[in-house]
Amino acid sequence: MKEYPYWWDSLPAVPADTENLEPRRPHAQPTALPARADVAIVGAGYTGLAAARHLSRGGASVVVLEGGRVGWGASSRNGGQVLTGMKLDPATLVARFGQARARELFAASLESIVALERIIADEAMQCEYERTGHLVAASKPSHFEAFREEQSLLAHVFNHTVDLVSAADQRTELGSNAYHGLMVDERSGALNPARYVNQLAGAAIRAGASIIEETPVRSVSRTGAVWTIATSRGTVQAGELLVATNGYASAATPWLQRRFVPIGSYVIATTPLAQDLIATIIPKRRMVFDSKHFLHYFRLTSDRRLLFGGRAVFAKPTADTTARCAAILQRDMVAVFPSLGASPVEYGWSGNVAFTRDQMPRAGRLRGAFYAGGYCGHGIAMATYLGTLVARRMAGEQVDHPLFDDQFRAIPFYYGTPWFLPIAGAYYALMDWLH
């Protein structure tokens, strides 16, 4: 099994750097640091690159600092699912925020997909984007009954239509007996995340941004109106700073570490499957996830592989967990699709998803630096969207948004090491068993 993302090998040209476990280089870029820039951005994922593209198009000098290569983190490790909604379900949004604010937040998720599609079209990206729709699979009969309530709430409060498919009819959408009915949302989409992040980097470069790879940031400090960013290759001074590290926030920005919790997500990919088998698994090529807290998510790729992911363990990934979690996921995959019992797994990998305490993404300004993150597994469109919005604010626009939070509070007793994840994992496992 190859212990790096399948997506890296789907990129054109040279193979992935398997010795150093790095994605392919998308573009030739200088390695020398500029002495100064108008804006420094830490992190060359969706958030940072979308911001760099917007700011550079406006005439700012922008340097993006990346500890690995472009898209090394979640931006090339995720499942490529472009989903409507937030991590929190609609009923929870209404209960927590009231109907008016809940509508704004749900609308933001739809706006983020529109923004993503606009960038893909404007930059003529070839990233396998398509509107596939998504399925939510009911893990228990009671979950399907909850879908009925959610369907009504989405229609009457959010003006958003979803369809239900009973367990008796679900094989028209999903070739599995493991579930008890489906909810279908036609608005969601799919893409190849590594191709998208590489082409977003290309768009930022064409706009004038510099991307300096393999340059970890050691510390950031501010004196007056000037930021000094110390890296492994020297220092850069900038007038504004955006920290776009999400689930990979480091000790260079301890204040952001205290607000984002990295949780491991694990993915496997099979070898290419026979066309007749593909037709029985997910016949309409939807994006799929189930209704558990310890959820699974899965999809088909353009070359007929099944990607199957989830929180195989509720912890931050370590060097020795990938193979163990891949075995767990393969067992779970075969439980969902027994016909894949003889299908080898060719890839297995992991990455960090960043959660906030209330499971809502955030963007804004803290301690003088701009930030965006906490996408809770819904980051492809939202990271692109918030990265662009925060860039507009950095450029001087009066941008207001329900996800902007300049008072984003740290998690009490948390300093970057998520000691509470085993407790949270046990709680969610209990909830899955009880409900």
- 134's CB contacts (< 8 A; 6+ apart) are 81, 83, 84, 184, 185, 188, 286, 287, 288, 289
The answer to whether 323 touches 3, Cβ cutoff 8 Å, is: yes
Mean local confidence (pLDDT), 227-243: 97
> C-alpha distances in angstroms, 372 versus 102, 190, 213, 305, 341?
20, 23, 20, 33, 41
What is the rounded CA–CA span in Å between residue 5 and residue 194? 9
User: Do the bridges between strand 369-373 and strand 189-190 make them parallel or antiparallel, or are there none, so unpaired?
Assistant: unpaired
- 42's CB contacts (< 8 A; 6+ apart) are 48, 65, 217, 220, 229, 241, 242, 243, 244, 245, 252, 253
Computed from CA positions of residues 204, 43, 382, 26, in that sequence, does the dihedral angle turn out positive or negative? positive
Is the model's pLDDT at 433 over the cut of 80?
no
What is the rounded CA–CA span in Å between residue 310 and residue 328? 10
Q: Hunting for tokens 């509470």 — which residue is that?
A: 420
Is the model's pLDDT at 319 over the cut of 90?
no
pLDDT for 204 equals 97
What is the rounded CA–CA span in Å between residue 240 and residue 395? 10
pLDDT for 17 equals 61
The answer to whether 382 touches 114, Cβ cutoff 8 Å, is: no
pLDDT for 404 equals 97
pLDDT tens sequence across 170-183: 999 999 999 999 99
pLDDT for 311 equals 74
Q: Considering the chain, what percentage of its residues have pLDDT values greater than 70?
A: 91
Mean local confidence (pLDDT), 273-291: 96
- 398's CB contacts (< 8 A; 6+ apart) are none
What is the rounded CA–CA span in Å between residue 162 and residue 312? 29
pLDDT for 15 equals 53
pTM of the model: 0.94
Q: Count the Cβ atoms, other than its own, within 10 Å of residue 379.
A: 29
Going by pLDDT thresholds of 50, 70 and 90, the confidence category of residue 23 is confident
pLDDT for 28 equals 60
> Across the chain, what does the average pLDDT equal?
93
pLDDT tens sequence across 79-134: 999 999 999 999 999 999 999 999 999 999 999 999 999 999 999 999 999 999 99
Is the model's pLDDT at 16 over the cut of 90?
no
The one-letter amino acid at 363? A
Listed in sequence order, the DSSP H helices in 272-420 are: 275-281, 322-336, 379-394
Going by pLDDT thresholds of 50, 70 and 90, the confidence category of residue 313 is low
Mean local confidence (pLDDT), 274-281: 94
What is the rounded CA–CA span in Å between residue 183 and residue 60? 45
> C-alpha distances in angstroms, 417 versus 8, 253, 254, 362?
29, 14, 11, 20
Going by pLDDT thresholds of 50, 70 and 90, the confidence category of residue 314 is low
Mean local confidence (pLDDT), 16-20: 59
Residue 42 phi/psi, 5-degree rounding, is -100, 115
pLDDT for 417 equals 84
pLDDT tens sequence across 184-229: 999 999 999 999 999 999 999 999 999 999 999 999 999 999 999 9
The one-letter amino acid at 190? A
Closest CA to 366 of 243, 270, 247, 214: 243
Residue 277 phi/psi, 5-degree rounding, is -70, -40
Q: Hunting for tokens 């709430």 — which residue is that?
A: 153
Going by pLDDT thresholds of 50, 70 and 90, the confidence category of residue 335 is very high
pLDDT for 329 equals 96
Is the model's pLDDT at 22 over the cut of 80?
no
Is the model's pLDDT at 434 over the cut of 70?
no
Going by pLDDT thresholds of 50, 70 and 90, the confidence category of residue 323 is confident
Q: Count the Cβ atoms, other than its own, within 10 Å of residue 283.
A: 14
Is the model's pLDDT at 14 over the cut of 90?
no
Mean local confidence (pLDDT), 11-31: 65
The answer to whether 147 touches 181, Cβ cutoff 8 Å, is: yes
Mean local confidence (pLDDT), 422-429: 63
